[in-house]
C-alpha cells in the first residue's frame, strides 16, 4: 500500500494485511486492548469472512476489491445522533463511486451504494457508547472494484469494472476513498450537519419515486421515500398520503 493512502489524521497508523478474516473484527480487537490513534486504518485485499448489516454476507475475491476499517472517536456526537456518522461515511463512499463517472450511483438507505439497481458497496459501522455519547466507531467499508463474476448466492452485485469496463489500481483508489472519508468526517466534526444531511438526502436511492415495498408481516404497499429521520429511520409516504417510519429490516424493496 502506497504511503499516500494514509488518512491525514495526526500520527495515523495504516495496517495492510495480505489477508484477514474481517477488518472490522481486527479493528475491534485492537480497541479492546488499547487506545489506537484516531484514523487508524486496517486494510486487506483478501477478506475471507466479511459481513454486512445484521449478519449479511459480503463476498470478495482475493486481490480484486477494497475491504477496510477505520477507527474513529466521534465523541462530539450524542448516541442518539449516531446516524449522522452513517450519513457522512455513506456520502464519502458515494462521492468516491461518482468520481469514476458513474452518474447513476445512489445511496440505498441506510448505507449501501447502488449503481442503478445493483449493489457496488456497503458499510458496517459498529459503535461503542458510554452514557449518552459515542465513544468509538469502527467504520467498515467494502467496495467491489475489479471483480467481474459473483456467486449466485449474492442477489444483485456489481463492480466498478463491470460498470465502466476499466481495471483499477486498488492502492490508488484506496487513497481517493480516504480523502473523501477524511473530508466528510471533519466536515461533520466541525458542525456542518445540515450540509451532510442535504447531500445524503439528495443522493438517496429511489427518493420521491413510486416503489413497491414489503413490511415484516408480509404485506406489500406502494410508496415514495420522502426522507430519513434523525434517528436513522426511513420515512415512506404511501398512496393514501400517510407517512410511516421504518427501522432497518422492517421494510424491504420489491423488484
3-state secondary structure the chain: CCHHHCCCCCCCCEEEECCECCHHHHHHHHHHHCCCCCCCEEEECCECCEECHHHCEECCCCCCCEEEEEEECCCCCEHHHCHHHHHHHHHHHHHHHHCCCCCCEEEECCCEEEECCEEEEEEEEEEEEECCEEEEEEEEEEECCCCCCCCCCCCCECCHHHHHCCCCCHHHHHHHHHHHHHHHHHHHHCCCHHHHHHHHHHCECCECCCEEEEECCCCEEEEEEEEECCCCCEEEEECCCCEEEECCCCEEECC
- The pTM (predicted TM-score) of the whole model is 0.91
Q: Where are the domains of the chain?
A: 3-202, 211-253
Beta strand pairing call for 118-130 and 133-143: antiparallel
Q: Does domain 3-202 fall into CATH 3.30.930.10?
A: yes
Whether the pLDDT of residue 55 is over 60: the answer is no
Which triple of cell numbers denotes residue 179?
A: 480523502
Confidence bin at 10 (pLDDT 50/70/90): low
Q: pLDDT by residue (tens digit) across 67-126?
A: 999 999 999 999 999 999 999 999 999 999 999 978 899 999 999 999 999 999 999 999
From the options 2.30.30, 3.40.1050, 3.90.25, 2.60.40, give the CATH code of 211-253.
2.30.30
pLDDT single digits (tens) 164-217: 999 999 999 998 998 899 999 999 999 999 999 999 999 999 999 999 999 999
Amino acid at each position: 500500500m502506497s504511503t499516500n493512502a494514509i488518512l491525514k489524521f495526526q500520527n495515523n497508523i495504516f495496517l495492510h494485511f495480505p489477508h484477514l478474516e474481517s477488518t472490522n473484527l481486527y479493528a475491534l480487537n485492537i480497541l479492546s486492548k488499547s487506545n489506537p490513534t484516531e484514523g487508524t486504518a486496517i486494510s486487506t485485499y483478501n477478506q475471507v469472512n466479511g459481513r454486512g448489516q445484521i449478519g449479511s454476507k459480503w463476498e470478495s475475491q482475493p486481490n480484486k476489491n477494497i475491504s477496510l476499517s477505520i477507527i474513529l472517536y466521534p465523541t462530539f456526537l450524542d448516541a442518539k445522533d449516531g446516524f449522522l456518522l452513517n450519513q457522512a461515511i455513506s456520502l464519502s463512499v458515494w462521492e468516491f463511486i461518482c468520481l469514476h463517472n458513474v452518474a447513476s450511483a445512489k445511496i440505498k438507505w441506510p448505507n449501501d451504494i447502488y449503481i442503478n439497481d445493483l449493489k457496488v458497496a456497503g458499510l458496517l459501522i459498529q459503535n461503542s457508547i458510554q452514557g449518552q455519547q459515542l465513544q468509538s466507531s469502527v467504520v467498515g467499508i467494502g467496495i467491489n472494484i475489479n471483480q467481474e463474476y459473483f456467486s449466485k448466492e449474492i442477489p444483485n452485485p456489481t463492480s466498478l469494472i463491470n460498470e465502466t469496463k476499466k481495471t483499477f489500481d486498488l492502492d490508488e483508489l484506496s487513497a481517493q476513498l480516504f480523502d473523501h472519508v477524511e473530508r466528510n468526517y471533519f466536515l461533520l466534526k466541525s458542525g456542518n450537519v445540515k450540509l451532510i444531511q442535504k447531500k445524503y438526502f439528495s443522493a438517496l436511492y429511489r427518493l420521491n419515486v413510486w416503489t413497491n415495498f414489503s413490511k415484516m408481516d408480509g404485506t406489500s404497499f406502494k410508496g415514495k421515500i420522502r426522507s430519513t429521520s434523525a434517528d436513522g429511520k426511513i420515512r415512506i409516504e404511501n398512496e393514501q398520503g400517510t407517512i410511516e417510519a421504518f427501522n432497518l429490516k422492517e421494510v424491504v424493496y420489491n423488484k
